Every structure is written in structure tokens, then in C-alpha cells.
Amino acid sequence: MNEENKKKVINRRQFLSYSALGLAGLTILPSWSIEGLRIAPSDRVVLGFLGLGRQALSDFSGFAACPGVQVAACCDVDSMKITRFQKRVAAWQKSKGMNERCDGYEFYEDLLNRKDIDAIEVVTPDHWHALMTIHACQAGKDVYCQKPLAYTITEGLEMVKAVRNNKRVLQVGSQQRSSKEFQKAIELVQAGAIGHIEKIYARVGEPPVALDLPEEVVPANLNFNQWMGPLNDPKIHYHPDLCPPISLNPEKEETLWGAWRWYRETGNGYTADWGAHMFDIAQAAIGMDGSGPVEYIPKGYNGAQYATMKYTNGIVMTEQPYLDDNDSAQGIKFIGTKGWIEVARGYLACSDASKVPAELAGERPLTPAQQEAKRAETAAQRSRQSEKNRGQALQHEISSPHMQDFIDCVRSRENPIAPVEVGCSTNTLCCIANISLELGRPVKCDPATLSFGKDKDATAHRLYYYQYRNPYSLY
């Protein structure tokens, strides 16, 4: 990074000062229900969606169940996905007696120019998160940004500045923060239920690999140049795995998640994709929101079996299985001087079973074979559900606590449960973990100043600062 750009990047002490509550005001159990209340027109929150893949469809269902929400516009570089999203929104609007209209755009700037839109969701590939969020804040919009917050460390820091300087609300889509089993795990750890924490096993999955997909012809309905946006690597070219195609007639959904996540040139692998969930909860539980490890040791260094992160308080976190018989299950195990706690989606266990409420215990994560059988059963059920039934089913959705928390904060102007600073610190951890792996050696970092001392290679790494391709600029 040149000297001019270095001056523009805020350091970690500045980053902490931007938090309106200094992160101390975050609640473990946010109030998110609005039951029996009629939402006045002045309290309506009008949303626009940037990115319309399968994650956007899922998130739309959550927002659609939040009282007082309207969806007025959407944007994607794939015209078929715009049409699909508009059909889903129209079915929901009709079921609620709303005006059936959701305008579609190819370029996100056109959507941000809309004065009637209060907030947007950024649910694009990670390399677009920073620019879209910053420009949305400058346009006076609040933002729900899918995780991980950004592709690089510098982008995350600039997003913090944009949110705070423009007095915006930003919720990171790390929805486990709003899930009761994770909230209880955090509560138990912080209450000393298992004594002093010594180790954390946080299973997230494999790091990114080099892009090895063959180039294919870009379909007419896709603006791949716009999909690329600020990415600046000549090795990147179109392949349908990067932008999973759909069909409208006959209707056919994506058959996989966008594979851009798994490649170094376009994403940060499971390290960030699931690290934004599991590392995030681990840091919340041990009081490290807004901070991070001081040393990162990559898998394979001196025979290390797992990536390892060390904190100033002596806690060591490793990216390793937390279940003895299921090394692929994402989840966390806190190991303390008086016992242990395991937590994953829909599952909570403790060495002292009396500390886990029965309604939160859930079921132990499935093995890969069990997961595959369940996925096949679910896919068969979905294929039997008609478009009409999908629209009607939205009437019976239960509001997502995480999305409702965001909508509540858009109204109240308070910090949500996963504000931009939280997303930034977790994203920074994930990026440095990948930096240490690519350098093939430990990396030490001062989380207060986000400096690497005399380690010039870490400071110069693309995951710290990434030079956008022309004409895009982060500043």
C-alpha cells in the first residue's frame, strides 16, 4: 500500500472509538418481537436488495415476516434472477394486500438513488460488500450486510468509517448472534459456568484454494464484467460455478452455492464463510469483540495439525473438530477449568447437563452421511411445492430474530446485536488467518493498532489492502 492510502486507513484504536456504545452496550438477548401492533405508515421500513441469489431468497423470507416491512426494489447482474425475485416479492405482496411492485435494476447505483428506500441488504459476493455498503451509507441508507463483512481488512475498516460518519445502522448477517442456543452458550461462558476458559475448538472448514475452473462462454442474461466489479486478477474468468445459473421456464433453482467463496482470487474459503459465524461467537463469549488474537499459526507449520490463534489472556483457539465422531460439523467447544460447553446450530450441551435448558439442548449435529440423506429428503419436499404454495407459505413464516433486530434498530437508531465493529473484528481475524497460511508461517498482530510490526509481507498482503481494478476505488 502506498503512503497516501496508508494515511486513509483507520487503525484499530480509531476503529474502536467509532462504536457508539464501545461494544459494551450490546445485549445478549435483544428484543425483536412486535406482537399485536399495527405499524403506522410512518414506521414502515422500505427495503431494497442488492444481489438476488439463493441467499437473498432465504433472507427475503425472513424480512417478509417482519411487521411493517415493504420491499420496493432489487438489483442483480443476472436478469433472470431479477425476474425470479420480482415474482417471489409479488406473490408475497399479493398475499398481504400490498401494491404488487418491485422495481429491478442492473446497476446498484440506480437503486441507491431512490429516495423512498430506507434500507438495503447487501447479499452479493464478498468483493462487492465494501463499495455497496459505503455508497449506501453515503446515500443515507441503513444496511443489512451479509457475512463476512468484507473481502479484505482495509475494506472492513473503511466500512466502519462509512457507517459511523454517516450515522447509519448496519447489521452483519452473522445471525447466530441472535440464536438462543448461542446466546445461552455465551451467557454460560461469561458467567464462569465452566471456570476459566483455556481452549476453544472452533470448526469452520478448509481455507480457500487457487482458482482452477476452466473458462466458459458468458450467458446473455449475465453481465459478468459488472459481477467482477473491483476484482483485479487476470486469472478470473467466467464459469457457471462462480455465478450459478437458474431457469425460469421450466423453473430450476441454483444447484450449488456460488463457488467464488472457495477460491483465493474471489473469496476467503470456509475460513471466512463459516469463520464469520463460529469464530464470531467464540470472540463474543471471551470478551474479544473489537479485538482479536495476537498470534496466528497456520496449519502445517512445524507439524501443526490445526490452525491456531492465541490471545493475550492465554486462551488458545484452534480450528479443529469439536465432536469426536464428526470432523466436518461446524461448531464450537469451550474448554474450561471446570468443564466444557459444545454449541452448534440447534445444539447445546455442557459437561454439567443441568445448566442447559431442555428447550435449547436440541439434537447433536448429523454426520455427513446423515446430512446427505436429510438434504435429499428436503429437496424432494421442495420440488413438490408449487410456486403458489411458496407464496402462501410466506404468510406463515416466523420472523427472523436477527432481521427483526435490524428493523427495530432502523426505527430506534440504536446499535443492532451484530454492528459493523463486530463484523470488522471477526473479518480481520479470518483474513489474518489466511495471510499466515499463505505466508506459511506465524504472523503476530497488535489488535489495538492492527499493525504487524516489522512483518512487511503481512502488511503488503492483498488481504490487508487490495488494489481495485480501474475505475473502481475504495476511497
Question: Rounded to whole angstroms, how far apart are CA atoms 61 and 59?
Answer: 5
Sign of the C-alpha dihedral, residues 281, 55, 261, 347?
positive
Question: Rounded to whole angstroms, how far apart are CA atoms 273 and 383?
Answer: 27
Q: What is the pLDDT of residue 264?
A: 97
Question: Rounded to whole angstroms, how far apart are CA atoms 167 and 169?
Answer: 7
Grid cell listed for 170: 448496519
Note whether 355 and 185 are within 8 A (CB). Answer: no
DSSP single-letter state for residue 176? G
Question: Rounded to whole angstroms, how far apart are CA atoms 50 and 464?
Answer: 25
Name every residue whose Cβ is closer than 8 Å to that of residue 24 and which is 6 or more positions away in sequence. Answer: none
**Cα Rg, the chain, nearest whole Å:** 22
Q: Give the DSSP H/E element, type plus range, for residue 340.
A: strand 339-344
Mean pLDDT along residues 161-184: 98
Question: Rounded to whole angstroms, how far apart are CA atoms 155 and 23?
Answer: 20
Which residues sit opposite 252 in a β-bridge?
247
> Which amino acid type is present at position 175?
Q
- Give the number of other CB atoms < 10 A from CB of residue 431: 26
Mean pLDDT, the chain, whole residue set: 89
Left (φ > 0), alpha (ψ -120 to 50) or beta: where does 377 sit? alpha
Q: How many CA atoms lie within 13 A of 252 on its CB side?
A: 8
Helix axes 153-165, 420-439, angle to 10 degrees: 170
ω before 250 within 30° of 0 (cis)?
yes
pLDDT digits (tens, 9 = 90+) for 93-152: 999 999 999 999 999 999 999 999 999 999 999 999 999 999 999 999 999 999 999 999
pLDDT digits (tens, 9 = 90+) for 281-300: 999 999 999 999 999 999 99
- Give the number of other CB atoms < 10 A from CB of residue 252: 10
Mean pLDDT along residues 274-286: 98
Question: Rounded to whole angstroms, how far apart are CA atoms 347 and 181?
Answer: 7
Which range, of 277-281, 360-364, 447-451, averages the lowest pLDDT? 447-451
Q: Which of 456, 439, 434, 382 is nearest to 126 (CA)?
A: 434
Grid cell listed for 86: 420480482
Q: Which of 279, 300, 299, 298 is nearest to 289 (CA)?
A: 279
Mean pLDDT along residues 17-38: 40
Query: What's the gap between Cα 225 and its chain centre?
Result: 24
Q: What percent of the chain has pLDDT over 90?
A: 81
CA 469 vs CA 127, 225, 228, 332: distances in Å: 12, 11, 10, 38
Note whether 22 and 33 are within 8 A (CB). Answer: no
Q: Which of 296, 150, 270 is nearest to 209 (CA)?
A: 270
Q: What is the pLDDT of residue 207?
A: 97
Q: What is the pTM of this model?
A: 0.89
Identify the band that residue 9 occupies on the pLDDT scale cut at 50, 70 and 90. low
ω before 245 within 30° of 0 (cis)?
no
Mean pLDDT along residues 23-40: 40
pLDDT exceeds 80 at position 11: no
Q: What is the pLDDT of residue 13?
A: 52
Question: Rounded to whole angstroms, how far apart are CA atoms 160 and 10?
Answer: 9
ω before 148 within 30° of 0 (cis)?
yes
Q: Which of 411, 398, 408, 419 is nearest to 62 (CA)?
A: 398
Query: What's the gap between Cα 335 and its chain centre?
Result: 26
Note whether 102 and 86 are within 8 A (CB). Answer: yes
Name every residue whose Cβ is closer than 8 Å to that of residue 403 and which is 6 or more positions away in sequence. Answer: 59, 62, 63, 66, 144, 171, 175
Q: What percent of the chain has pLDDT over 70?
A: 87
